[in-house]
């Protein structure tokens, strides 16, 4: 049945009079009678009983009318939603985000996003930046938030830069690194990040750490440092003003600080979606409000 037929049945049930129903529906009585006959044949049941006083619903008719009104009510809600979409942001925002950003930066942005756009839904996955790129290439997500220098040919916007620090509860100078027997705690990461740290270390000390501990998560690494087990090199995004009794020594190379970039990447077509464009705008607002470094 078409929506017009559902509407016709609903009007007939309200009026219980062929003439009045035909007038409301702007059709002739014979045409209305023929359409009702066709619908009743389709259901295989009499829906209305006809008499000189008008129409009355059969038990089967009551069930079909209840169904018709339910369909019409749902259609109205869908139409209201579609109309609202011209003014509101709907749809699911699919994000893939580097784990370190997802833990330390993204929650603040998503909080602002959901407050501003309550009708939008969010699908989020986290992982290494190499994994995020893979999900982008395969079209599993709309946008990716990636660390480092991603090899991405589509839309790419720099978000912010954060410095790298040697972090410890005891040492407050880089010269002490060669004197300590405490372990250098490293976390598993993308190869380019790991290689960047190794290159800096060898340029700075011309040797390897005396003792190392490898952990699988950056948060585990951070907590081990904060509990005095050893020292680590951590990006500024993981460090906060509230962190007490911690020395943070900035890393420098040849007359420049050692930094890590974060990028927003995606296919151009994704940014044509309202929810994606809205997220991009919230990100830009957040970066401005936080005074973060962007290129």
Q: pLDDT digit of tens for each residue in the chain (295 aa)?
A: 788 899 999 999 999 999 999 999 999 999 999 999 999 999 999 999 998 888 999 999 999 999 999 999 888 878 767 766 666 788 899 999 999 999 999 999 999 999 999 989 999 999 988 899 999 999 999 999 999 888 899 999 999 999 999 999 999 999 999 899 999 999 988 767 888 888 899 889 988 888 999 998 889 999 999 999 999 999 999 988 666 789 999 999 877 889 999 999 999 999 989 899 999 999 999 999 887 655 5
Q: Quote the pTM value.
A: 0.69
Q: State which H helix or E strand residue 125 sits in.
A: strand 121-127
Residue 68, domain member (yes or no): yes
Residue 270's CB is within 10 A of a number of other CB atoms, namely 22
Read off the CATH number of the domain in which 107 is found.
3.40.190.10
Query: Quick one: tokens of 36?
Result: 């009702």
Alpha helices in 227-273 (DSSP H): none
**Bridge partners for 92 per DSSP:** 121
Q: Do 166 and 142 share a structural domain? A: no
Alpha helices in the chain (DSSP H): 3-15, 18-25, 29-43, 59-84, 99-104, 106-116, 129-137, 191-205, 218-226, 274-290
Residue 295, domain member (yes or no): no
Q: Which of 22, 51, 84 represents a domain boundary (last residue)?
A: 84
Residues 6 or more apart whose Cβ sits within 8 Å of residue 94: 123, 140, 141, 142, 143
Q: To the nearest 10°, the Cα dihedral for 220, 226, 229, 230?
A: 90
Q: Do 34 and 58 share a structural domain? A: yes
* Number of separate domains in the chain: 3
């Amino acid at each position: 049945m078409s929506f017009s037929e559902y509407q016709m049945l609903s009007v007939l049930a309200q009026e219980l009079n062929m003439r009045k129903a035909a007038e409301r529906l702007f059709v002739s009585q014979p045409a209305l009678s023929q359409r009702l006959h066709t619908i009743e044949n389709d259901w295989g049941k009499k829906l209305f009983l006809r008499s000189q006083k008008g129409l009355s619903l059969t038990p089967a008719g009551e069930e079909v009318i209840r169904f018709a009104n339910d369909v019409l009510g749902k259609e109205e809600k869908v139409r209201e939603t579609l109309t609202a979409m011209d003014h509101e942001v709907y749809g699911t925002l699919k994000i893939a985000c580097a784990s370190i950003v997802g833990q330390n930066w993204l929650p603040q942005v998503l909080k602002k996003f959901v407050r501003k756009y309550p009708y939008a839904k969010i699908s989020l996955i986290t992982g290494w930046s190499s994994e995020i790129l893979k999900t982008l290439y395969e079209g599993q997500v709309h946008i990716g938030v990636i660390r480092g220098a991603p090899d991405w040919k589509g839309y790419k916007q720099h978000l912010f830069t954060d410095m790298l620090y040697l972090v410890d509860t005891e040492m407050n100078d880089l010269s002490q690194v060669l004197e300590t027997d405490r372990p250098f705690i490293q976390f598993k990461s993308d190869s380019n990040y790991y290689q960047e740290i190794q290159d800096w270390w060898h340029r700075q000390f011309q040797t390897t750490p005396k003792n190392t501990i490898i952990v699988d998560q950056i948060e585990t690494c951070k907590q081990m440092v904060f509990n005095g087990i050893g020292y680590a090199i951590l990006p500024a995004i993981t460090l906060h003003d509230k962190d007490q009794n911690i020395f943070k020594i900035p890393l420098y190379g040849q007359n420049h600080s050692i930094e890590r970039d974060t990028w927003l990447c995606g296919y151009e077509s994704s940014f044509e979606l309202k929810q994606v464009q809205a997220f991009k705008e919230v990100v830009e607002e957040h970066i401005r409000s936080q005074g973060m470094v962007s290129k």
